[in-house]
Amino acid sequence: MEEDKELDRIIKEKMRRLMEKKEEKYNTIINLTSENFFKVINGEKPVLVDFWAEWCMPCRIMHPIFERLAVKFKDKVIFARLNVDEYGEIASLFRVFSIPTFILFHKGNPIDAVVGAVGEEGLLKLLRKYIVED
């Protein structure tokens, strides 16, 4: 009987942790619009923006990688996405002609970028130039 209570306690604790991770994952990426784009990129923290489109298969391939890195670097980098079909004027402003394009901003200025489905290593290489991992 005592074992059942302990097992229930362990299961509840595991479920609580899983739910926290799930919530954390979905709260780590900002969806950018013309209303919030410049406010987000002008902050103190570096911002990695994923310029993407719904129909873009390489963008879809990169999205889970972007999500994982958003969780990993959540205390050091803001991760955000901008749909180029909806906000093409912003993409044009930063000369985004191919997608996915990932631009790293610091205090409103683009400081580096990578284009294409570069995989996790490609994004890590970009981030590690400017961000120290724990």
Rounded percentage of the chain residues whose pLDDT exceeds 70: 90
The predicted pLDDT at position 21 comes to 57
Q: Give yes or no for residue 43 having a pLDDT over 60.
A: yes
Q: Which residues pair with 80 in a beta bridge?
A: 30, 49
Residue 51: phi, psi to the nearest 5?
Answer: -90, 120
Does residue 14 carry a catalytic annotation? no
Q: Could you report the per-residue pLDDT of 69-105, keeping only the tens digit for each? A: 999 999 999 999 999 999 999 999 999 999 999 999 9
Q: How crowded is the C-beta side of 48, counted as CA atoms within 13 Å? A: 30
Catalytic: which of 59, 70, 77, 99? 59
Helix (H) or strand (E) holding 80: strand 78-83
Annotated catalytic residue within 56, 62, 82, 127 = 56
Q: What is the mean pLDDT of residues 124-133?
A: 90
> Can you read off the two tokens belonging to residue 72?
């990993």
- For residue 64, whether the previous peptide bond is cis, meaning omega lies within 30 degrees of 0, is no
Largest CA distance in the chain: 66
Q: CA distances (Å), 109 to each of 40, 50, 66, 88, 128, in order?
A: 12, 15, 21, 19, 18
Catalytic residue flag (residue 56): yes
Instruction: Classify domain 29-128 at the CATH class level.
Output: alpha beta
